Amino acid sequence: MAGTSKSVQVVLSRSERLPEVDVWLIIDILRATTVMVSWFAAGGEELYPAASARAARELAESLRREGKSPLLMGERNAVAPEGFDLGNSPLDITPELAREHPCAVMATTNGTKAILKAASTGAPVFAACARNAPAALGAALARGNRVGILCSGREERPSWDDALCAGLLIACLKEYFPEIRLTDGARLAHLTWLTSKDFKSSLRSADHAVFLEKIGYGGDLDFAAEIGVTHVVPELRETSSDSPRVVLRRAESGAKPLPTSWSYEKHENMIGDSK
């Protein structure tokens, strides 16, 4: 299928200037966007991203005054800030919790800041990770041909884990649109994917993954490494409130996941075919 009118730009860290694109996919695979996807897959209805723990506490209090009962979740340096209900582990999210608190406020070191930065461009914004990769691509392509992928990165620098996930998205796109144009950042992310014969072990080799394993979150790594297991795509929306807020809600199911004919589990074979 012809894809000459389509292009992908990858921004490898949130500290970089954002180019003009039609739609943004935000990646923080370890672990913010994985948690966001898990939240909505469990039945959550709203998720308000905040730039800091303090901003999250203030926003949660404001929502309580409006009659909501928000769950406060997130991390600072990988652990839950004081007073938060949950940290940043997707394994802590359950359907029971989402039913009890369908509204959540989230602040993380990198991921929520990346979401808010992309929101400032005015383009549609979706949260992406390995678990919802084909669905996130389908949602993005329904909004435009110029797809931007923003990697949250770590400490305002590129991170192996997010670049690897961006490469996964590009590999999926190229399988369906072989002629899609890749900018330099997208080519670097794609090369990261192509040189990683096993996705899970490559993800585990990232600096942040090693740190998470060390402090007891190894299970989160296995969970984050599962590819294409959900069609849930969080989408950034504007609120109707007079307050300047943005909120993530589950994207409408009109856009179909991007079809793929190759097996993610046979990554090594796919690499051999690509050479």
Kindly list the domain boundaries of the chain, sorted by start residue.
Answer: 7-274
pLDDT tens string 225-269: 999 999 999 999 976 555 668 999 999 866 778 876 544 444 443
Per DSSP, helices labelled H in 66-216 are: 95-100, 111-119, 133-141, 160-176, 184-194, 199-204, 207-214
**pLDDT at position 265, please?**
46
pLDDT above 70: percentage of residues in the chain? 89
For tokens 């990769």, the residue is 133
Report the top-level CATH class of 7-274. Answer: alpha beta
Average the pLDDT over 193-206 and give the result.
95
The predicted pLDDT at position 5 comes to: 86
CB of 23 within 8 A of CB of 149?
no
| Radius of gyration (C-alpha) of the chain in whole angstroms | 18
Selection from 22, 267, 76, 19 nearest residue 164 by Cα: 267
Using an 8 Å Cβ cutoff, are 199 and 205 in contact?
A: no
Q: Is 52 a residue whose pLDDT tops 80?
A: yes
Q: Give strand ranges (E) for the chain.
A: 7-11, 23-27, 46-50, 71-74, 103-107, 125-128, 146-151, 181-182, 234-238, 246-250
Return the pLDDT at 197: 84
User: What is the torsion angle, in degrees rounded to the nearest 10, for the CA atoms of residue 224, residue 226, residue 231 and residue 233?
Assistant: 20
What are the structure tokens assigned to 132, written together?
Answer: 């919802």
Burial class (CB in 10 A: 0-12, 13-18, 19+), 260: middle
Query: What pLDDT does residue 194 have?
Result: 95
Query: For 54-68, what is the mean pLDDT?
Result: 95
Query: Cβ of 16: how many Cβ atoms within 10 Å?
Result: 16
Question: Which 8-state DSSP code applies to residue 3?
Answer: -
First to last CA, the chain: 21
Chain centroid to CA 248: how far? 12
The pLDDT of residue 149? 98
